[in-house]
């Protein structure tokens, strides 16, 4: 259970990284988010192979959970910013407690999400959902640092740097 919660927290991190990326132009950020959400839905749809009845029960729950995750993550970011500002002040202990509480809330949202998913999907599909979200997270992380589809030298299929084959910046 803790491993699943860790995976789900990591998914929230992807959202944070994606949210923190600066768009090249105004409007690009929202367009990028919509594209990423569409890709996520497509991947989940493909991986879970939901029946029509499962899809009708699942997607409203999933969309609500995603909204809760965004809110919980947003609160943790705000708590982190406050902690950064006040780390050397008299209220550092309280700010740290607030940050930890916000992170705990993210984990709580993910734990509750699993329980909700189990009510509308068979356990095998809940497990596939967790794996699909992790797969999506890895795909997004791969895209974030590599504009134009460039592959990172450490990704599968790329040669590792060595003395004979150094990384070219």
Helix (H) or strand (E) holding 89: none
- Residues 34 and 76: their CA atoms lie apart, in Å, by 23
Q: Is residue 166 part of a domain?
A: no
Q: Answer whether residue 135 is part of any domain.
A: yes
Tokens of 48: 């879970």
Give the per-residue pLDDT at 33: 84
**Is residue 70 a part of any domain in this protein?**
yes
Q: Taking Cα atoms as reference points, which of 24, 46, 7 lies closest to residue 133?
A: 7
Residue 33 lies in a domain: yes
List the domain range (segments joined by +) for residue 28: 2-148
Span 76-99, average pLDDT: 92
pLDDT at 87: 87
pTM above 0.75, yes or no: no
Whether 57 is in a domain gets the answer yes
- Tell me, what's the pLDDT at 11? 44
> What whole-number percentage of the chain has pLDDT above 90?
55
Out of 31-40, 82-91, 116-125, 158-167, pick the least confident. 158-167
Q: Would residue 167 count as lying in a domain? A: no
Reported as a single tens digit per residue, the pLDDT across 2-60 is 444 443 444 444 454 444 444 455 578 888 888 889 999 999 999 999 999 999 999 99
pLDDT per position as a tens digit, 110-153: 999 999 999 999 999 999 999 999 999 998 888 877 655 444 44
Rounded distance between C-alpha atoms, residue 164 and residue 166, angstroms: 6
The count of structural domains within the chain is 1
Per DSSP, helices labelled H in the chain are: 2-20, 28-48, 52-86, 92-120, 123-144
State the Cα–Cα distance between residues 71 and 74, nearest whole angstrom: 5
Residue 147's pLDDT is 57
Query: Residue 156 domain-assigned?
Result: no
Q: Does the residue 25 lie in any domain?
A: yes
């Amino acid at each position: 259970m803790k491993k699943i919660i860790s995976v789900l927290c990591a998914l929230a991190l992807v959202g944070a990284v994606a949210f923190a990326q600066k768009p090249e132009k105004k409007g690009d950020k929202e367009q990028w988010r919509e594209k990423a959400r569409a890709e996520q839905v497509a991947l989940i749809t493909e991986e879970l192979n939901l029946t029509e009845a499962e899809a009708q029960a699942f997607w409203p729950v999933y969309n609500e959970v995603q909204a809760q995750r965004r809110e919980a993550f947003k609160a943790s970011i705000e708590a982190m910013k406050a902690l950064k500002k006040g780390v050397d002040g008299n209220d550092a202990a309280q700010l740290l407690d607030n940050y930890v509480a916000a992170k705990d809330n993210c984990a709580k949202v993910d734990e509750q999400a699993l329980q909700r998913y189990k009510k509308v999907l068979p356990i095998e599909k809940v497990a596939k959902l967790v794996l699909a979200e992790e797969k999506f997270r890895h795909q997004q992380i791969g895209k974030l640092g590599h504009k134009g589809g460039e592959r990172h030298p450490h990704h599968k299929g790329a040669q590792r740097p060595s003395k004979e084959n150094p990384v070219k910046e």
